[in-house]
Every structure is written in C-alpha cells, then in structure tokens.
Amino acid sequence: MTPEERYLFDLQGFLFIPDAIPQDLVQQMNDDIDKLESLNDAAAAKLGFDRKYHDDKKSGWVEECDPSRPRDYDCNVLRRGGPFEALIDCTRTLPYIDEMITEPLRLDGYMFMTRNQGRHTNLHHGYAELLSYSEFAIDEGEFKCVSVKVAYALRDVSIEEGSFAVIPGSHKSNFDNPFGGAIPDENHPLIEACPCKAGDAVIFSEDLTHGATINQSKKARRTLFISYAPAFQTPWGTLVNTADGFEERATPRQLELIKGPSPFAIA
C-alpha cells in the first residue's frame, strides 16, 4: 500500500482497485453463474447453492415484491470451486487486506449477489453503531480493522445500473447516521457512487456506510462480496464452505485463509 493509498483508506474508508480480476477469469465466472441460474432452486440446492432471496420488505433489500420480476438473491458461490477459488487469495487485493488488518486473518465470508431492475441496497452501517464484527481502528500507526470487504464487479455497472455507493469518512463518525436505511441518492453531496467495469474491485471497511443505487436498467448487476477478518472471528455460517477436493488443490495460503490460522503469534 502506497502512502497515498494508506492516507485515502484512513480518510475515506475505501479504495478502488481497477482490473483486479483478469478478463478471462471474469468470463469463466459469468459462464458458471449462467449455468447455476439455469437450474431451479431444488437442483441448485442439491449442489450446495442455497439461494437466499431478498423479498422481505423489512430487510431493506427491495422496495416491493413483484412476482413478475427476476428475484434478487445471494448464495455461497465458493461451493462451485473452479475460477471462484482464485479470489480467495487474489494477488491484486490480498496485499491491501494484510495491511488493513495486520493480524493473522481469515476469509470469513464469500457471497455472490444480484441486483435486478428497480432494486437497490439501502445504506447501512457506520462507526457510531459500534458493531463488534466491523470496527475500524488504528493502533500505533497500523490499521487494525475487524472486517474488510472486497466487492468485485462481474459486469460493467454504471450509477444507473445500480452501482456500489458509500458515504466517505462515515467509518469514523461518532454520530448516528441520518441516512441509515435510505436508498442511496447519487445526487446527494455526501454520497459517492462507485461505478465499475467488470473485473474492478472496491475494498472497504465494513464500518463504512454503504449500499447500492437503484438499478434502472434491465441488466442484472452481478457482484462478489468477499469478507476478511482477524483469525479470532468466526465465519459467516456456510459462506466459507468450499467445493469437494478443495484441500487437495489449495495453496497453503488459501487453506490458511479458509480454515483460519492461529489467532496468536508464534514466538
């Protein structure tokens, strides 16, 4: 991480990383997702892909449930293995994660998420919430973040197509977020939308207020969210379940990130 990048991450709570995934790998991932989306829920579940649909109005994921529209969902796509395993220790992003956490760390969640026409993600989180699983902190000149996430775009996504959006600096706010639960308004001076090309990534502190603008297009937004945390933190349920044979083909670092290293330094 350069001095400028360290300053920016401390200042705004996120970094934009262009071309984080090679285009051939992006294509392989989209091809695999196309195959999964051709399966019905029962067939997908047999393969270990339990789709979680975002149909609860209280969750803030959707404005209304319209059965004629495609349904937004997320799932643990790491169960697919193949190209998705390459992002466990992505060479373009993991060096940043190491510096943002600076402790023995693990991958604690890996999720694929869609956003269809008319859908959005409400703004959520912010430092004032004091959530034990998401704290942004600095100690003796080093980042000591409790949760850092990477959002990888698998398709080009403009602001009009439902891009990721943040309130820069909100990872340090000591006051309750007045925008919590609101639809991100890209025209508001405090809100910054983050349009991406397929293969780009945004690394952000989970303490940062973030969401996604309304997708006004007919194209579904496709995003991979991968979360890292200190080794003492437990994973997010089944979101770290791997494909059969993973341990035999994984690199030592991949295996450590999935299984979790010792949270204590060895003298």
From CA 228, how far away is CA 177, in angstroms rounded? 24
**Is 95 inside any structural domain?**
yes
Domain boundaries, position 29: 3-52+70-258
| Residue from 127, 195, 203 nearest 162 by CA | 195
Q: What is the token pair recorded at 46?
A: 């047999």
Report the C-alpha gap between 72 and 64 in whole angstroms: 11
Residue type, position 96, single letter: Y
Here the CATH number for the domain that contains residue 98 is: 2.60.120.620
Cβ atoms of 1 and 95 closer than 8 Å: yes
- 45: in domain: yes
Give the pair of three-digit tokens for residue 257: 């990130």
33: helix, strand or coil: helix
pLDDT (tens digit per residue) in 69-128: 678 888 999 999 999 999 999 999 999 999 999 999 999 999 999 998 888 888 988 766
CA distance 178 to 109: 28
**Mean pLDDT within 56-68:** 50
- Residue 181 located in a structural domain: yes
Q: How far is CA 144 from CA 118, 159, 229, 262, in A?
A: 37, 31, 10, 17
Q: Which of 212, 211, 6, 207 minimizes the C-alpha distance to 100?
A: 6
Q: What does the pLDDT read at residue 128?
A: 66
Residue 106 or residue 263, greater confidence: 106
For residue 62, the model assigns a pLDDT of 46
Question: How far apart are alpha carbons 170 and 190 in whole angstroms?
Answer: 10
Domains of the chain: total: 1
Between 261 and 148, the more confident residue is 148
Residue 265 lies in a domain: no
pLDDT at 46 over 80: yes
pLDDT at residue 205, as a whole number: 95
Does a structural domain hold residue 26?
yes
Residue 66 — pLDDT band, cuts 50, 70, 90?
Answer: low
Contact 215, 70 (CB under 8 A): no
pLDDT in tens, 142-178: 999 999 999 999 999 999 999 999 999 999 988 888 8
pLDDT at residue 69 in the model: 67
Judge whether residue 30 has pLDDT over 80.
Answer: yes
Q: What is the DSSP letter of 180?
A: T
pLDDT tens-place string over residues 181-200: 888 999 999 999 999 999 99
The owner of tokens 């109005």 is: 57
CB atoms within 10 A of CB 237: 10
CA distance 244 to 253: 18
Residue 58 located in a structural domain: no
pLDDT of residue 48: 80
Q: List 215's β-bridge partners, or say none.
A: 161
Alpha carbon distance 176, 209 (integer Å) = 11
- Please indicate, yes or no, if residue 41 is contained in any of the structural domains: yes
Q: What percent of the chain has pLDDT over 90?
A: 67
pLDDT level of residue 68 (50, 70, 90 thresholds): low
Cα separation, 137 vs 232, whole angstroms: 16
**Encoded amino acid at 154, one letter:** L
Residue 27 lies in a domain: yes
Q: Given this model, what pLDDT does residue 60 score? A: 45
